A and B are shown apart, each in its own frame.
Chain A
């Protein structure tokens, strides 16, 4: 158990819908990262938050957004869903912001868009 929790574990929805994925970081970790794992793109970084502020963006679509709340949990919002958004979405957390710390990954949310 990494200490990072993600809900829900599985999500099945239809094209055009909107979903919210939730992540709680390890106790004491201030950075939260979101990653997407798809069959064709592999594991890719989406976005990073540190202590409530957005710090870095990767290959995140405009239809996707995220935020980190004062209690440090984070939510990833995916809207106008397309078939190609079906993937495993991971949240990771670390203590700092520099990338020199170990990143611990949650169990992931498996999203299926039908």
Chain B
């Protein structure tokens, strides 16, 4: 069925470490977005990336649409990076009608 799977579910890092978060999706997509939900509950747009590679400061993302996965890289992590990272997609055929389908998220804790 239609699925968005994120791994790992939990990640604990020391400040300054790098990390890679993964999102697998079950079918072709029209839209893929990465979000950071901070401890106050706000959902912050990180990337719109249905294919290709983008970079924004210490964050970068790559989506390989043909292999149905996306990666979010966080370099030199800071305590403010803590929170939950969500991947969300709009599937091209069925399963969604323009709305995003979210994965369960990766909970990141960065220790000082």
Contact = CB atoms under 8 A, between A and B. Distances in A.
B98 A105 contact: no
A97 B96 CA distance: 12
Interface string B21-65: 000000000110101000001111100101000000000000000
Contacts of B50: 100
B43 A108 contact: yes
B90 A105 contact: no
A34 to B, nearest CB: 10
A98 B98 contact: yes
Interface stretch (B12-20, B69-77, B99-107): B99-107
Chain B interface size band reads 20 to 34
B81 to A, nearest CB: 19
Given A42-B104, A99-B90, A100-B31, A48 B99 contact: yes
Contacts of B100: 33, 35, 45, 92, 99, 103
A100 B29 CA distance: 9
B99 A33 contact: yes
A101 interface: yes
A103 to B, nearest CB: 6
A43 B98 contact: no
Chain A interface size band reads 20 to 34
B97 interface: yes
A45 B43 contact: no
Central interface residue in B50, B102, B104, by most chain A CB within 10 Å: B102
22 contacts: A2-B44, A35-B100, A42-B104, A44-B102, A45-B99, A48-B98, A55-B97, A56-B97, A56-B98, A88-B41, A90-B43, A99-B96, A100-B30, A100-B31, A100-B90, A102-B33, A102-B48, A103-B33, A104-B45, A105-B45, A108-B41, A110-B41
A42 B41 contact: no
A105 B88 CA distance: 12
Contacts of B31: 99-103
